[in-house]
């Protein structure tokens, strides 16, 4: 069996008037993430990690932010397409370890739902998807609640 590891990172600005989507679920919050799609930073980081592990460039290459096809798209669709892209090279998702960095909203109670939906979209067990949340202790753009970032590491496998 061949295995490969990938790393992804994404960040989006928080703005009023947008829904907040994280890990494939909508969260109640006074601001949402600004982006061409639904701006789900967690899913975008996972997509980049999967594509990187398969040596297939990045999310912007496959789903450009100047394409009307992807405007306001649900990022779960992008994740499903990403899993199909790596499958085209014979890879499947082994596991995901991801961290969301946000001051608010508090994410602890939402993590199981995120794990379940992400696992379903990727076709893996929920136990294969680790989602963690942290803050920056009020430092930087995250601490000032100007944006949210996410990091993801993935393992992909090929028989």
Q: Angle 119-141-37 (CA atoms, 0-180°, nearest 5)?
A: 45
* Residue 143 annotated as part of some ligand binding site: no
* Residue 60 annotated as part of some ligand binding site: yes
* Residue 135 annotated as part of some ligand binding site: yes
In this structure, what token pair is assigned to residue 5? Answer: 């590891």
* Residue 38 annotated as part of some ligand binding site: no
* Residue 141 annotated as part of some ligand binding site: yes
* Residue 12 annotated as part of some ligand binding site: yes
* Residue 11 annotated as part of some ligand binding site: yes
* Residue 69 annotated as part of some ligand binding site: no
| 131-134 own/partner pairs: CB under 8 Å, 24+ apart | 131/23, 131/42, 131/98, 131/99, 131/100, 132/97, 132/98, 132/99, 132/100, 133/99, 133/100, 133/101, 133/102, 133/106, 133/107, 133/108, 134/99, 134/100, 134/101
* Residue 110 annotated as part of some ligand binding site: no
* Residue 136 annotated as part of some ligand binding site: yes
Contact 79, 23 (CB under 8 A): no
* Residue 99 annotated as part of some ligand binding site: no
* Residue 93 annotated as part of some ligand binding site: no
* Residue 70 annotated as part of some ligand binding site: no
| Binding positions | 10-12, 36-37, 44, 58-60, 134-137, 141, 144
Tell me the binding residues for a divalent metal cation: 10, 12, 44
């Amino acid at each position: 069996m061949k295995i490969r590891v990938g790393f992804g990172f994404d960040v989006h600005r928080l703005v009023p008037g947008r829904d907040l989507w994280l890990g494939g679920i909508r969260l109640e919050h006074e601001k949402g993430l600004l982006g061409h799609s639904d701006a789900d930073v967690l899913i975008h980081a996972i997509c980049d990690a999967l594509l990187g592990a398969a040596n297939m460039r990045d999310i912007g290459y496959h789903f450009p932010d100047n394409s009307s096809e992807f405007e306001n798209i649900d990022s779960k669709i992008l994740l499903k397409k990403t899993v199909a892209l790596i499958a085209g090279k014979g890879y499947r998702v082994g596991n995901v370890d991801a961290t969301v960095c946000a001051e608010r909203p508090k994410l602890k109670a939402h993590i199981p739902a995120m794990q379940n939906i992400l696992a379903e979209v990727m076709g893996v067990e929920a136990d294969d998807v680790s989602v963690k949340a942290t803050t920056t202790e009020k430092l930087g753009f995250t601490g000032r609640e100007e944006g949210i970032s996410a990091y993801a590491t993935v393992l992909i496998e090929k028989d």
